[in-house]
Structure 1
Amino acid sequence: MDAFLSSTLAVAIAEIGDKTQLLTLFLAARFTQRNAIILGILVATLLNHALSAWFGAWLVQWIPENWAPWIIGLSFIAVGLWVLIPDKDDDDETGVLQYGAFIATCILFFIAEMGDKTQVATVILAARYDNLFWVIMGTTVGMMLANVPVAYAGNWLMQKIPLDLARWSACILFVGLGVLSIVAI
């Protein structure tokens, strides 16, 4: 259950102000089918994070056992510092919008997650914890906790959440997970 809670909290906080949250805001402004957007986010996140978690679990098998806590811990700390850098809204891939809310969300969300902080965090969390299922569920729930409210109340919500506070909270969480990974040696 540690894997689920850590994964949920880490991704939910890291996602605030992230480019995928900005993408959710864009999609909610473009399409009226909020449930299709949310389902698209869920499908894209499950696929992306399952692949990421599998990669993290595979990768940790090739790292010498005494190096793993250091690599994982320093990776958490690096992601924590990376979270402090605000994301910019990338150019919109308007070509896929013609396929409707669900397909457009699936495609754009999957692409936006490639190399994103939350994808890297998923790789690290899967390397840290032995239970892929709970890491995938946790990161997916964290992603949904951060994006579902934006799909429904986007502009209003984004004005109410202090992004600097969210970034610093995520930084502290990731650095804390990193230190705990190293100390647990």
Structure 2
Amino acid sequence: MEWKSALATFLVIFLAELGDKTQLMVMSLSARSKAPHMIFLGAAAALVASSLLAVVAGDSLLRHVPVRVIRLATGTMFMFVGGMLVLRAIR
């Protein structure tokens, strides 16, 4: 197994998820629940399911689209989102 890839993925996802709306929703649900361990299990299962979907979609995409095109498309999307955030901040 490629432990470096697994560790890098863990760190990137862990840092990206800190303080996002999903984490805030889980905190809110936990605060109202009498079974926070079930909130944890539900949230963990949802993250695993969405990650599985992303991995399957990414693998399938890679089989049909050249890596260069994928990199250009994702770079363009990130630049667009970044530009929109800058414009929103300026207003």
TM-score, normalised relative to structure 2: 0.71
Partner residue in 2 for 1:34: 36
Instruction: Write the distance in 2 (CA, Å) between the matches of 1:2 and 1:68.
Output: 25
Q: How many residues align?
A: 80
CA shift at 1:59, angstroms?
0.7
How far 1:72 sits from its partner (Å)? 7.5
Per-residue Cα deviation, 1:23-51 (whole angstroms, up to 9, x for no partner): 11110111021211111112111111111
Structure 1, unmatched stretches of 5+, are 86-185
Structure with max Cα Rg: 2
Structure-1 separation of matches of 2:22 and 2:70: 29
Question: Which structure: greater helix fraction?
Answer: 2
> Is the alpha carbon distance of 1:48 and 1:70 closer, same or farther for their aligned partners in structure 2, counting shifts above 3 Å?
closer
Matched, 1:62 2:52: no
Mapped to 2, the partners of 1:42 and 1:18 lie a distance apart of 15
Note if 1:71 corresponds to 2:80: no
1:7 aligns with 2:36: no
The residue number in structure 2 matching 1:45 is 47
Distance 1:2 1:72, change over 3 A: farther
**Residue of structure 2 in register with 1:25 after alignment:** 27
- Kindly indicate whether the alpha-carbon contact (under 8 Å) linking 1:60 and 1:68 is maintained by their aligned counterparts in 2: no
Q: Which structure 2 residues correspond to residues 28-177 of structure 1 after superposition, within 5 A?
A: 28-65=30-67, 67-68=68-69, 70-71=71-72, 74=75, 78=78
**Could you tell me how far apart the structure 2 residues matched to 1:72 and 1:35 are?**
39
Determine which structure has greater relative contact order: mean sequence separation of CA pairs < 8 Å that are 6+ residues apart, divided by chain length. 1
Report the TM-score when normalising by structure 1: 0.37
Gaps of 5+ in 2: 86-91
Q: Cα RMSD (Å) of the superposition? A: 2.6
Structure 1 residues 55 and 69: CA distance shift in structure 2, 3 A: closer
3-state SS of 1:17 partner: coil
CA distance in 2, matches of 1:53, 1:35: 27
Amino acid at match of 1:70: R
